Structure 1
Amino acid sequence: VIGERIARLHAGMSGTRGGAAAVMQFDASSGQVRFAGLGNIVASLCDGDGVRGMPSHPGIVGAQFRKAQPFDFPHADGKLLVMHSDGLQSRWNLRDHPGLFSRHPRIVAALLLRDYTRGRDDCCVFVMRLGGMQ
């Protein structure tokens, strides 16, 4: 499923400058995330104890890439998925902001944009809670 979605994105962006993209699938019954990213997309699973990075493959959707191998991440239920473009600094840490993890994902995204935007680049941030709070 994820490979098919990446292929459709690639076909749809052919003939353009191309771009970065990521596709994520969350299985609520198992609590597992399947993720594939291409290009300058950063994705992380966050909980109250820390952050686990989700690797993206080099390449340009619509132009060139080898294959977007998906990665599986078990035990993701209740975690925050944070995805952002390279316009956001990579040094952010939710633990630097006590109580932030339990706030609404829009609040988390707004704080990341406010405090960690590089300033010289466009920036996109996406935050969602997977399943329920733990």
Structure 2
Amino acid sequence: MNVGVISRPKKGFSANGDSYVIEKINQKILISVIDGIGHGVHADNAATKCVNTIKKYIQSSEDCNLIILFNRCHEALKSTDGVVMASVLVDAPCGTIRYAGIGNIATRIIGMKNIYPIPRGGIVGYNMPAVKEYTYPYKRGDLILMYTDGIISRINSDLCIRLQNLEEQTIAEELFKQYARDDDDATLLVAREEST
């Protein structure tokens, strides 16, 4: 899996409340993007605790169940202000991508058919509703785009398609340049499994 990512704190802050995780689990790849509620140290602490919880779960699991993953994070984050989070589990050999999301992390899969999973409202660690996991078709070469609310939500899909021949980090940089806001922490992640 090739990944390009940019993550930076809100202008004037040194602590970044956004974070992400990329972990290989057997033949699958887990990608999670996390946004701690608020800004600064409290948001950073919540996001870091979430990342650590995800990594601990992955180390103790032979597979990754996204519903269990979100529930573990919810329990671990109850002493914080919470986070919003989206996760995908890419199984390129089987041609599937599983998705779960709570809160306003945008996820897009750009390929032969563009897919825009819709997250559930709520906050992981505070008022998380029942998590739903969705499975979509995925083929090598499809572009996975995930970003926090520090990125303007209406990224132009045609622009993503025009940028598809570039490396993932270059795509992330181009989109970040055009769509990042200064008034919030911002993270934009681009991932793609190479075509065979």
Length-normalised TM-score, structure 2: 0.62
Q: Is structure 2 residue 54 aligned with structure 1 residue 16?
A: no
Describe the SS at the equivalent of 2:135.
strand
- Runs of 4+ in structure 1 deviating by more than 6 angstroms, as ranges, are none
Query: 1:29 corresponds to which letter in structure 2?
Result: P
What does the per-residue CA deviation read over 1:14-62, in whole Å, with 9 as the maximum and x for residues that have no partner? Answer: 1101011112111122210000011111000013x67421111101011
Pick closer, same or farther for the CA change 1:97–1:15 going to 2, 3 Å: closer
Cα RMSD (Å): 1.9
Length-normalised TM-score, structure 1: 0.88
For the residues of structure 2 that align with 1:2 and 1:45, how far apart are their CA atoms? 18
Which residue of 48, 60, 65 corresponds with 2:123? 60
For the residues of structure 1 that align with 2:127 and 2:91, how far apart are their CA atoms? 30
Aligned to 1:133: 195
Aligned to 1:35: 99
Q: CA deviation at 1:105?
A: 1.4
Query: 2:80 corresponds to which letter in structure 1?
Result: T
CA contact (8 A) 2:74 2:128 kept: no
Pick closer, same or farther for the CA change 1:50–1:27 going to 2, 3 Å: closer
Pick closer, same or farther for the CA change 1:15–1:62 going to 2, 3 Å: same
CA contact (8 A) 1:32 1:77 kept: no
Describe the SS at the equivalent of 1:81.
strand
CA contact (8 A) 1:45 1:76 kept: no
Unaligned runs of 5+ in 1: none
1:1-134 alignment to 2 at 5 Å?
1-47=65-111, 51-96=114-159, 99-129=162-192, 131-133=193-195
Q: CA deviation at 1:132?
A: 2.4
For the residues of structure 1 that align with 2:113 and 2:167, how far apart are their CA atoms? 18
Identity, in percent, stands at: 27
Describe the SS at the equivalent of 2:171.
helix
Query: 1:80 corresponds to which letter in structure 2?
Result: L
- Greater mean alpha carbon deviation, residues 50-59 or residues 105-114: 50-59
What does the per-residue CA deviation read over 1:61-118, in whole Å, with 9 as the maximum and x for residues that have no partner? Answer: 1111111101111134321110000111122225236741122211111111111012
Q: How many residues align?
A: 132
Query: 1:30 corresponds to which letter in structure 2?
Result: C
Query: 1:120 corresponds to which letter in structure 2?
Result: D
